[in-house]
Structure 1
Amino acid sequence: MATTEPSTGALPDPATAPLTVGGDDVLLTASGIGVNASWGHIYGPVDLRVRRGGVTVLVGSGGRGRSALLLTLAGRMKPSNGTLTAFGKTNDAQHLFGHAALAYIDEVDKIGQTIRVRDVLTEQLRWRAPWYKFVGLGNEDDLERLCRPVFGPLTLPSLDSFVEELPELTAALLRVAMANHRQPELLVVGGIDKLTRISSSHRFLERLIDLGRRQTVITCDINGVVPQEGVTDVIEVDNLTDGEFVRIEREDRKL
C-alpha cells in the first residue's frame, strides 16, 4: 500500500517560488448567482469576490449546493440567475471553462476503485494526446511529470497500486494532479473537509497553497481555515442549502 510522506529526492524549496497573490487584483466576481433545477432550488443567491493568486477558502455547508457552486465557478455549470464575471467576460461559462481546472468533485472526477494508478495515468495521457498519436501505458516518468507539481515533497503513489488502497491524502492529490495537468490560471478543488484525518486536511491545504503560488485556487471547508501565508481570503458563503438546515447548523456550531 502506498503512503504519502516526504520523499528522499531533492526538490526546489517551494518557499522560494513567487507567491502570486495580487492584492486587490480581482479574478472573479459573483453577484447574486444561483442555480435552479427542474425539480427545485439548488443554491443561491451568492455574492463573492475571488482575488488573484493564493488560495481562497469558501466556508459553507457541504452537499449538492456547494458542489454546484464550485462547478459554476469553474465554468462547468451556468448560473440560472445573477452575474458571474471572470477573465474579462460576464456569464460566459465556456470562456471560464477554458481558463479553469476542476478537481476532487465526485460528480466529475471520482476514480473507480478497482483500477490501478497506471490505468488512471494512461487514460489521462491518451485523453490529452492528438487522436492520431499512439500513447502507450503510463510510466514512472509520466507519473513524475504530471504528479510532482501537486505532490511536491510527498511520495508519489506506485503505478501498480489500486486506487482503493491509496491513503486518502494520496488519492485526493492524485485527482488534483490528473485534473491540473494544463495548470490553468484557476484551479477549483472540492472541500478539504472531505478528508477524514485532520493531519491529511492540513497537508492537503499546504499543497494547495503551494499551487497557489502560480495559480488561483478556490476550495472550501465547512469550518473554514486559520488565516496564514498563502491563504488570500476565507469567505463565508450562505444559501448553499435549505434555510432550515442552515439555521440548525449554526445553532450546532454554538454548542
Structure 2
Amino acid sequence: MTSEPTGGRPAGGLAVEARGLSVRGPRGWVFRDVDLKVPAGGLAAVAGVAGSGRTSLLLTLGGRMKPASGTVLLDGRRRGLGEARRRAALGVVPGVNELDPALTVREHVSEALDLREGLLGRWRGREARIRRALERVDLGVAPRTLAADLTPEETRLLGAALALVGEPGLLLLDDVDEGLPFERQRELWRRLRALADSGVTIVAACHDAAPAEGLAQVVRLSESREEALR
C-alpha cells in the first residue's frame, strides 16, 4: 500500500515516513505493509473502513503502539517510542483521550496549558494563550461552551487545539469525517490544510478520502484483516 503525493509543501513540522509498517494483535493483523511518506508541513488522509487499522496506524506513528514489523522514520531517523511520543501529539481518539463532556472549552485548554506550563502559567496571560490556541485551529466557539455541546467538527478542532499546545511536529487526528456531510468534510480538510501550512505535519484518519482530494495526499488501507494477509 502506498501513498499518493500531491506536490511540495512549505517547510515546517516533522517529516514522517513508514516503510512496510505492520501491527499484529491477538486476532491477527490489524494492518500490514503500510508505506507512507509525508513531508514536513504535509497533510495526509489515511482512509479505510472500520476495522482497517486507521486508529492503530496513528498510534503507531506517534509511538503509542509498537509495530510487529516495519520502520517509522521521523525527520529521516528511527526514534524510540518515548521520543516519538514527545514529538507527536494526538487529537481526540475515542477510548484513548476523549474530552470530558462536563468541562468547557476554556477548561480543556487551560488544563492542557497547565500540563505544559505548570500552575504558575495561570498568572501570565493565560486568557490570551487560550484565545490563541483556539484561533490557531479556527475554532470559533464561546470558551464557556461545554464539550458535550460541541458538534463533531468542533470536537475534532478542539482536540487539535489541545494537542498543539505542546507544539508537536506531528499532529495525528482520528475519524475527522465522522458524522459530517461532504461539504463540511471538505471545509474541515481546508482548515487542516491551512493548519499544516502554518508549520505542523498532519496525518488524519477518515472513512472516505474524496473530500480531501487536492488538499491532502491519500493513503488507503486494506478493507479487512483478511485482505491485508494476501
TM bracket, shorter-chain basis: 0.7 to 0.9
Secondary structure of 1:108's aligned partner = coil
Give the superposition deviation at 1:241.
3.7
1:44-83 maps to which residues of 2 (within 5 A)?
44-52=31-39, 53-63=41-51, 65-83=53-71
Matched, 1:227 2:213: yes
Q: What aligned pairs does 1:97-108 form with structure 2 within 5 A after superposition?
A: 97-108=85-96
**TM-score for both structures, normalised by structure 2:** 0.81
- Alpha-carbon displacement from aligned partner over 1:103-155 (angstroms, at most 9, x marks no partner): 13113321021222232122112111236x3636x96423212111111xx52
Equivalent residue number for residue 158 of structure 1? 142
Consecutive unaligned residues in structure 1, runs of 5 or more: 1-17, 247-255
Query: Does the residue aligned with 1:78 lie in a helix, a strand or coil?
Result: coil
1:80-95 equivalent positions in 2, closer than 5 A: 80-90=68-78, 92-95=80-83
- Structure 2 stretches of 5 or more lacking a match? 1-7
Cα-to-partner distance string for 1:55-77 (whole Å, 9 max, x where unaligned): 11112123482211110011221
Q: Distance in 2 between matches of 1:199 and 1:189?
A: 19
Number of aligned residues: 218
Q: Pick from 179, 187, 204: which aligns with 1:195?
A: 179
Q: Tell me which of 125, 132, 135 is aligned to 1:145.
A: 132
Structure 2: distance between partners of 1:89 and 1:19: 20
Quick check: 1:20 aligned with 2:10?
Answer: yes
For 2:20 and 2:106, locate their aligned partners in 1 and report how far apart those are by CA, in whole Å.
Answer: 43
Deviation, 1:93, is 2.0
In the alignment, is residue 243 of structure 1 matched against residue 230 of structure 2?
no
User: Could you tell me the percent identity over the aligned residues?
Assistant: 24
RMSD value over aligned CA atoms? 3.0
The structure having more radius of gyration, on CA atoms, is 1
1:171 is aligned to 155
CA contact (8 A) 1:195 1:201 kept: no
Cα distance in structure 1, aligned partners of 2:68 and 2:48: 20
Q: Which residue in the other structure is 1:215 paired with?
A: 200
Given that 2:42 and 2:196 are in contact with CA atoms closer than 8 Å, whether structure 1 keeps it comes out as yes
The alignment partner of 2:99 has SS state of coil
The separation in 1 between residues aligned to 2:27 and 2:79, in whole angstroms, is: 21
Q: CA deviation at 1:21?
A: 6.5
Could you say which residue in structure 2 is the equivalent of 1:5? Answer: none
Q: Secondary structure at the match of 1:48?
A: strand
CA-to-aligned-CA distance 1:135-192 (integer Å, 9 cap, x gap): 36x96423212111111xx52x222221111222222211110111133221111122
1:21/1:220 Cα in 2 relative to 1: closer, same or farther (>3 Å)?
Answer: farther
**Match of residue 5 from structure 2:** none
